[in-house]
Amino acid sequence: MRKLRMGMVGGGLDSFMGDVHRKASGLDGMIELVCGAFNSTVEKTKQTGKALFLPEDRCYGSFQEMILKEKELPEGDRMDFVTIVTPNHLHFEPAKMALENGFHVVCDKPMTLTVNEAKILEKLVNETGLLFALTHNYTGNAMVKQAQAMVAKGALGEILKVQVQYLQGWMAEEEEEKEAKIKPWRADPKKSGIGGSLADIGTHAENLVSYITGAEITELAADLGRIGKNRVLDNDGNLLLRMSNGAKGTMSISQMAVGEENALIVKVYGSKGSLEWNQEDSTKLITKWIDKPQQTFTPDGNDIYEEVRAISRIPKGHPEGYLEAFANIYRGFAKHLMSVINNDPIEKPDYPSVAEGVRGVQFIYAAVESDKQNASWVKLDSF
């Protein structure tokens, strides 16, 4: 046994997500960062590498250089996989090149700017047999996994209705000029893609609903808002959902909801009971039943499934949150990759994959198209 060797694209010292990925990937001691192309110039990359105690010769000026030079190293030294933590428009090319050169991939969401790019990556993954993880980190939360298991085991009965919201207020709290300096690429279609809040937080809501219910959004009707001067991309929206299991649903997303921080809340209603999970109180899963009192589940409490208890690191009463959930995505990926390296069998991998990445981009395209058609119904599979 050895640690898995990770190379990183993006994630310089001033990057929030780069730091999150480094901390999350290292939390279980299964992965080590060995190289990177962290910034747009080799000088900045070497500054980042120095701060991270990496050897200078493994701090590269571009992802192309990193992939090609790492490939030349002996198998026992080269990186095992690439983590991509760049803005949206810089996901596809490094992911494609990594797969073409034999490296597994972990990528931030949304996976690509276009559905065509997403399907190219899916085809490459299927052809090469390489692993691809998408960091929809909220599915790594213990209580989300408890919710998913309860639905899968039939505890809630037939799923009839879902409600999900992801509300933030950071755009409303900043002037347009100030916002443009802090996160300019999120307001630029060339860098963010055709979706604004849809891509940033809507894809999390879409993925969470599908993960918990085991059903996909097949069709949606979207009414999107573009609030603020010169706003091109959506930063607000309400959607009606039709699920593959026959359930109906609603979704509300916004980054203009004054006072909200990360109000991601999902509710699932079945014929026997319902559940509610709130990301800002993530260690509690509230369930309500047709024939018994309300229950609140916690990660180390009674009636928790063993597969859920296995991913909870600390005793009940000590809150686990964002980083731990993120780390569970890396742990699921790492366990799968270790099994591949050691030629050991593994049960169904427990992390979002390239297929979820395709669905996420289709969700964005369907919502934008529906909004153009005055909130008419649009099928995700039409893209």
Q: What's the whole-model pTM score?
A: 0.95
Distance CA 216, CA 225 (A): 24
> Domain for residue 207, yes or no?
yes
Structure-block tokens of residue 375: 């909130």
Distance CA 280, CA 266 (A): 12
Write the single-letter amino acid at 122.
E
Give me Rg for the CA atoms of the chain: 21
* Residue-number span of the structural domain to which 149 is assigned: 139-316+358-382
pLDDT digits 0-9 by tens, 244-282: 999 999 999 999 999 999 999 999 999 999 999 999 999
pLDDT digits 0-9 by tens, 44-80: 999 999 999 999 999 999 999 999 999 999 999 999 9
The DSSP letter of residue 11 is: -
> Domain for residue 327, yes or no?
no
Tokens 């409303």 locate to: 172
Mean pLDDT of all residues in 12-38:
95
pLDDT bucket at 181, cuts 50 / 70 / 90 = very low
What is the phi/psi pair of residue 83, to 5°?
A: -105, 130
**Which CATH number characterizes residue 170's domain?**
3.30.360.10
Q: How many domains does the chain have?
A: 2
**Which CATH number characterizes residue 106's domain?**
3.40.50.720
> Domain for residue 323, yes or no?
no
Q: Determine the Cα angle at 100 with ends 102 and 207, to 5°.
A: 90
Residues 161 and 292 in one domain: yes
Residues 64 and 180 in one domain: no
| CA nearest to 239, candidates 256, 255, 222, 224 | 222
Tokens 């929206």 locate to: 237
> Domain for residue 59, yes or no?
yes
| Strands, sheet with 285-289, edge to edge from the N-terminal-most edge strand | 295-297, 285-289, 273-278, 263-270, 159-167, 248-254, 236-243, 217-225, 378-379
pLDDT at residue number 184: 67
> Domain for residue 129, yes or no?
yes
Distance CA 267, CA 45 (A): 43
> Domain for residue 306, yes or no?
yes
